[in-house]
Structure 1
Amino acid sequence: MKPEDKLGELMEAQEAALEAHRVHGSMDVLTAQLNEAHTKARVDYIGHNSMESFKDEGDANIEVCESQRRMSARNGPDIGVKFATPEMIAAYHEYARIRDEAARDAARTKIGQELAQQKCTWGEKQGTYNYRDYYAEAHGKTWDDAVRRWTTP
């Protein structure tokens, strides 16, 4: 999802807020409604895109598990699955047992949710930030930059 995808919702909220201002004559009502609409759209955007990022991370972990499985079948080395929790491995095995798109999507979601709770292992936020915070910050910055572009003449 792009920030622009939420622009329509913000425009509708702005129109409703302007109408409330015309009816009630209060800038406080207008400001409160616009702030509420912006906050909701921002939270929705960050939540949606963070979940998509977690699913992508889950997909990457599934691919590592698949590579490990193929290598083991050929008596190759154990490359391990970095950061894997028992829940992540169980989600992969459930997918590997069923092998359909619904099972893969469930596995990538579960693995992504597990990863979201883990602490970052690199960068300046190492050990202090979990991946949920990391992605929320990144997607929040993208949102804020887009809003600045929309509102700067």
Structure 2
Amino acid sequence: MLFEGPLIWRVTKEKAIDVQCLLLDDLLVLAQKQEDKMLLKCQSKSNIAVQEGKQMLSPIIKLDSVFLREVATDRKAFYVIFTWESGAQIYELVAQSVGEMKTWSDKIKSAVDELKRSGASRNLTLPPGVGVSPLSPSTYVFLCRN
């Protein structure tokens, strides 16, 4: 693990989720705290998406095809833009301060650059339904370690 801390995942203007963000060598993980557990929960930008089987936002972001942009209207927020051959997903993450936002941006950019320097992303075995293909609204649970 390279870095971790609290962020807000702004899924829509009306829907913001507190997450514990984990930056790994090749992944960014957005985990939601619930009691003594951390949930990995796919999110939809609308309720209609779940009903129509449209693409969900995964809480696991592979860094091999990510780039970052600042949010023009919020100095504490940044976009993580995840691309692949059939489209893109945009995640808006908000830090508690401008300095913390810059720290997150720098750490993520460094991890992405290191992945590019190493030549290729690792082959990952992710839970079923998680990855770059359209996702089902499944929930994954793992226990916190103290």
Please, what TM-score do these two structures have when normalized by structure 1?
0.24
Structure ranking higher in helix proportion: 1
Q: Which has the larger radius of gyration?
A: 1
Structure ranking higher in strand proportion: 2
Please, what TM-score do these two structures have when normalized by structure 2?
0.25
